[in-house]
Amino acid sequence: MKKALITGITGQDGGHLATLLHEKGYEIYAIIRGQQNPRRSQVEQEFPYVHLIEADLTDPSSLVRAMQTAEPDEVYNLAAISHVGYSFKDPQLTADVTGKGVLNLLEAIRLTDTNNKVRFYQASTSEMFGGLDYNRPGAGYDEDSLFHPRSPYGVAKLYAHWITRNYRESYGMHASCGILFNHEGERRGLEFVTRKVTNAVARIKLGTQEYIELGNLESKRDWGYAGDYVEGMWRMLQQDKPGEYVLATGETHTIREFVELAFAEIGLKLTWRGEAEKIEGVDQNGVVRIKTNPIFYRPAEVDILLGNPAKAEKVLGWKRKVDFRGLVKLMVEHDIELESPVKLI
Ligand code: NAP
Ligand code: G4F
């Protein structure tokens, strides 16, 4: 039985990955931080087969202890301060966790894995590309595209990306980076735009909310389903050689398109009025459902993300299964179920 150690078990991808590895027969260890992590009991209930170890990416000795306890074959580093907007508010913590935390983990592996057998996955991101005019994706960003991160999060992730490559080159570690484009689903945090929208749409359908306040509606993202993407992470660590792989759908859509589709799922058709940072989305009954609020705009924006997953498709045999419409539908349906009052028989 193979053993895996996951960081970020309380997050979106951690949940999907634990499910996948359990199905594949792994013994799973995961680190959890904090004296009273509010998501601990949920993890314990949902994943009773996961052994939890107290550790924090910013505490190097806790990571050494986690490695000694788990003695894993594979380590998946999913932990991060992962919200781009938040990273502008706390750039130093973001650097410590999302950037230097990865160095702490690599060192813990190097110091404990004396036979150099551990395979390591680093959660790199399309945010490293930045989407600037001179750096447009064309047919889609791939593993050789230029980096130009546009947020403290993106900069921290770029450090993590390169330190992972450096440990591979310096110490012969089997260390791979998945450059993942946005992936969403029923486990997505409510602070991210897709889930914020689908959850609000469900509440609007149920009459407990009237409208949603959003920021930039014009940026474009390459959105896939998280369940498909954790399969790609696992495939990377099954290769003989480590490497970098883009996981993406090869399609890009505006936030506005996502919003329109989500409302269409509950029978509301939006039309738009206003411009710049004062835009409203109005339904066919004349009710304002979308308002923009400057607090949700970022000091620097990534205008467009579009990925080219050709290498992952060819080498890993990976392909996303859920398409854009399927993703929106899945999330809205899940949130309607979640927000519905318990039906008493
Ligand atoms: P997420 O839902 O925000 O989960 C982040 C996880 O990191 C949480 O479990 C959190 O645990 C943990 N964490 C935060 N600070 C920590 C610390 N100091 N020590 C240990 N754990 C800590 O993120 P996700 O969407 O699952 O994404 C997984 C990874 O992929 C992240 O690294 C993200 O940056 C990267 N990524 C995500 C996407 C995407 O579209 N989802 C795309 C590309 C890359 P707590 O409960 O303790 O807060
Ligand atoms: O959903 P978002 O916060 O995701 P973002 O910034 O693309 O980052 C996510 O994907 C990255 C991969 O590319 C990951 F590395 C990262 O960890 C995270 O998972 O925002 C998407 C877009 C942005 O352009 C943002 O400005 O939506 C725009 N937006 C508009 N209104 C909003 C809102 N974003 C949020 N979070 N909340 C809003 O109200």
**182 close to ligand 1 (CB < 6 Angstrom):** yes
The predicted structure's pLDDT at residue 35: 85
Mean pLDDT over each residue of the chain, to the nearest integer = 96
63 pLDDT band, cuts 50/70/90, is very high
Give the residue whose CA is nearest to atom 32 of ligand 2: 193
pLDDT at 134 over 70: no
Q: What percent of the chain has pLDDT over 90?
A: 94
pLDDT at 4 over 70: yes
Give the residue whose CA is nearest to atom 16 of ligand 2: 82
What number is the average pLDDT over the span 141-170?
A: 97
The predicted structure's pLDDT at residue 135: 67
341 pLDDT band, cuts 50/70/90, is confident
Structure tokens at 323: 């398409």
123 pLDDT band, cuts 50/70/90, is very high
**10 close to ligand 1 (CB < 6 Angstrom):** yes
Which residue type occupies 26? Y
34 pLDDT band, cuts 50/70/90, is confident
Q: Measured in angstroms, how far is the CA atom of residue 222 from the centroid of ligand 2?
A: 11
Of the candidate ranges 23-37, 52-66, 98-112, 132-146, the one whose mean pLDDT is the lowest: 132-146
Q: Measured in angstroms, how far is the CA atom of residue 3 from the centroid of ligand 2?
A: 33
Q: Measured in angstroms, how far is the CA atom of residue 269 from the centroid of ligand 1?
A: 34
**105 close to ligand 1 (CB < 6 Angstrom):** no
Q: Which ligand is nearest to the CA of 226?
A: 1
Q: Measured in angstroms, how far is the CA atom of residue 192 from the centroid of ligand 2?
A: 6
For residue 302, the ligand 2 atom closest to its alpha carbon is 24
Q: Which residues are catalytic?
A: 125, 127, 153
pLDDT at 133 over 70: no
**CB-based contact 196:229 (threshold 8 Å):** no
271-275 and 278-282 strand pairing: antiparallel
Q: Measured in angstroms, how far is the CA atom of residue 193 from the centroid of ligand 2?
A: 6
- Tens digit of pLDDT for each residue in 209-240? 999 999 999 999 999 999 999 999 999 999 99
CA distance 91 to 297: 17
List all residues 6 or more positions away from 157 whose beta carbon is below 8 Å from its beta carbon.
80, 98, 99, 124, 125, 127, 128, 149
Q: Measured in angstroms, how far is the CA atom of residue 172 from the centroid of ligand 2?
A: 35
- Tens digit of pLDDT for each residue in 299-310? 999 999 999 999
Give the residue whose CA is nearest to atom 27 of ligand 2: 193
SS3 250: coil
- Tens digit of pLDDT for each residue in 270-293? 999 998 889 999 999 999 999 999
Give the residue whose CA is nearest to atom 7 of ligand 2: 182
246 pLDDT band, cuts 50/70/90, is very high
The predicted structure's pLDDT at residue 345: 62
Question: Mind spelling out the 3-state secondary structure of 56-96?
Answer: CCCCHHHHHHHHHHHCCCEEEECCCCCCHHHHHHCHHHHHH
pLDDT at 129 over 90: yes
pLDDT at 344 over 80: no
The count of other CB atoms within 10 Å of the CB of residue 213 is 13
- Tens digit of pLDDT for each residue in 307-333? 999 999 999 999 999 999 999 999 999
Give the residue whose CA is nearest to atom 36 of ligand 2: 192
For residue 303, the ligand 2 atom closest to its alpha carbon is 24
What number is the average pLDDT over the span 177-203?
A: 98
Q: What percent of the chain has pLDDT over 70?
A: 97
Structure tokens at 91: 């750039």
The predicted structure's pLDDT at residue 193: 98
Q: Which ligand is nearest to the CA of 229?
A: 1
pLDDT at 206 over 80: yes
**80 close to ligand 1 (CB < 6 Angstrom):** yes
The predicted structure's pLDDT at residue 128: 97
What number is the average pLDDT over the span 192-218?
A: 97
The predicted structure's pLDDT at residue 139: 82
